[in-house]
Structure 1
Amino acid sequence: MTQAVSFRGVCRHFGTIRAVDGVDLDIADGEFFAMLGPSGSGKTTCLRLIAGFEQPTAGTLAIYGEPAEGVPPYRRNVNTVFQNYALFPHMNVRDNVAFGLRVKGVGRAERAQAADEALALVELSGYGARRAGELSGGQRQRVALARALVNKPKVLLLDEPLGALDLKLREQMQGELRRLQRALGLTFVFVTHDQEEALSMADRVAVFAEGRIQQVGTPEEIYRRPASRFVADFVGSSNVLPSDFTGTGPSGRWASLRPEDIRLDPAGRAATVTSRAYHGRVVKLGLSLGGQELTALLPPGDLPEPGQSTHISWDPAKVHVMGPEA
C-alpha cells in the first residue's frame, strides 16, 4: 500500500517543551485520517510538520516517499484548510479561490475556469462574483476548501476546519467533507478535538496525548477496544473500572464499559441513582454501585430519580479489558 505520509521517530521540541515526542505513523494514500486529542496533545504540530510550517527536531518525515525535512511549504504537494478560513476580504470569491494559481503564474482565463470548477465541487456554482463578507460561515468554509482543492494537492490538511460553525451546519459539513474525499480520492488529514467528528468521518484515527500517539485504529477499534484509560475516557465517555469489579479478564487490570451498554435489570446488581439528566434521545443516569461511580445512558421513559434504588446489569462481552500498561 502506498503511504502518503510517514513519520519515523519524529520529535518537535520548543525549548524544554516536547510538543511531538517520538511519533511513528503511516497514513495511506487516499485515506481519510483523523488526528484526535485535547489541546496541547501534539496533533496540530504534526499537521504543521506535514505542511512544512514546522521542521522536525529529530526523526524523519516523508510525503509519498520523498523526504520532507527542510522542504519549504510551497514545494510540498499539500494544502491546508484553516479554522479561520483566512479569506481575503478585498477579493471576490473566484479570486480568493484562484489566488494560489495566480501566485504560480497561471493565466487569468485558466485560473478563472479552474476556480469555477472548484466552486462547483463544493456546490457554490454562481458565487464567484460575491465578496467573502456576503457569505455565511458555512459558505466561507466551502470557499476555503475550494481554494485548497484548486491546486490539486495530493494531501489535504484540515486544521479544525469546522470549529467555528454551529452544530447543525457542522454536521452538514462533516457529510460534505466525507463526500468530497470519496469522490476525489485524495488523502485527507483532519485535526480535531471533537471525538464525534473523528469517529463519524475518518477511516482511521490516531489519538494523541502529551506529544505521543496513544492508539491508532478504525473508529470502531478506538471506541470499542481502547488501549488505555486515557483513550477510553477521552473518546466518547466510558466507565473505567477495575476488572475485578466487572468480573471480566485478569485481576488487576482496568476495563472499559460504555454507558450505553448498561441496562436496568430487576435481576441485576443493586445500585443507587445519584443524578439524572435529560438529553433528548437518552437520559444520563449517575449510579453508585459497590463503591464505584458509573454512568448509564438509557432511553427516556419511566426511570428512577436521584436517591432511589435500582438494579443494573451489562453483557460481559461488551466489557473491554485493557492491557497491563493501561
Structure 2
Amino acid sequence: MSETHEDDAPQDHDQKGSYVTAGSEFRRDMTYIPDRITRDARDGWPVEAGRYRLIAARACPWANRTLIARRLLGLEEAISVGMPGPTHDKRSWTFDLDEGGRDPVLGYERLQEAYFARFPDYPRGITVPALVDIPTRSVVTNDFSQITLDLATEWAPLHREGAPDLYPEALRAEIDELNDWMLHRVNNGVYKAGFAGTQEAYESAYGELWDALDVLEERLADRRYLMGPAITEADVRLFPTLVRFDAVYYAHFKANRQPLFTMPNLWGYLKDLFQTPGFGDTVDFRQIKEHYYVVQTDINPTQVVPVGPSLERFLEPHGRDGLPTDTWGPGGTAPLPPLAAEVVDPANTPLHLTGR
C-alpha cells in the first residue's frame, strides 16, 4: 500500500479561482510551514493551554480532521477555534461568520493576515487548518498531516480523562503506511479526478480512486474501524472524505462510478462514524456544499448549489455492532458534547432529527 511520492508543484488549492489547468493533471502543493508545537518547544512553540487558536473551516476536509481530533481528545478548552465561512476569494479564507466579519480573538478579517504577520511575502496558498499564536497573532503551522499527529501525542498532558489513543505506538508504522496510501489514492484522489485537465489524467485518477475504495470496502468487511476494534488517526483522516463523497465528489468531481451508499461496508462504516460523538457533530453539509459549488467556478460556473442528497440515511442503522469493538480503546470514553458555541446549525445536519 505504500506510496513513494507526493505531488509538489505549486497549487493554490484552497483559493477561489482556477483549479483546473487544461492539458495537465492536478498537482497539490504539499509544502507547508513545518514548525511544530511540542512539549520540548524544539521549534520555539511550546505546548501551552490557551496560547494557540486553531483556524478550521467546517467546509474543508483537511480542517475537518483537526476539529474531530480536538473533540475526541478533549482539547476544546486548551485550543480555541476560529471558523471561517465556507466561501472565499482568491486572497484568503475570511471570518464572515463572526460578528463584524472579524475573528473575535485575533481581530482579523482574513486568515491571510495571520500568515503575513509572520511571513510578509508568503508565496503559497492561505490554507486551513492553521494554528495561530495568539500573543503574536501570527501563523505557527498549516501542516495538516502533522497537526493531528501532534494533537494526539505532544498535547497528551492536556487530553481529557478517557481520551482515546488515536496514534498508538504499536500501530504507528501501519497507520502511517495506510494514511500515506489513502492521501494519494482517496483524500487527494477525489481532487485529482475533479481537477484533471485532460481526459487521460481524469480516467487515471478515477481508476486509482475506485481501486482504492474497493480495497477499503474489502478491508472493512471484518473490522469495525480501519485498524481494528478501536478508532485511530486513520479513521479521523478517512471520514471527512467519505462524508463529502455523495454530496460533492460523486457529481462535482465526476467520481461517479456509484454512490457511496451502494457500498455496504464503506457506507455502514461511514454511518457508524457519523453517529459516533466527535465525528458527525462536526459536519455542516450546507457549508460543505457551498464551498465546493460556489468557490470552484471553473467546475461549476453557475454556482448553483444542489439541494440533495437526502441526509436522513446517515442516521439509519449501520449494522456494524456485531464486529469486534473497543471504540475508545482501553480506558477510553466518548467525548463530551460540543461546546455550545461550536454546535452545528441544526438546519445543516441530520443529527437534529433525533435530538442528538
TM-score, normalised by the number of residues in structure 1 = 0.26
Q: Which has the higher contact order (CA 8 A, sep 6+)?
A: 2
Q: Which has the higher helix share?
A: 2
TM-score in terms of structure 2 length: 0.25
Structure 1 or 2, whichever has the larger Rg, is 1
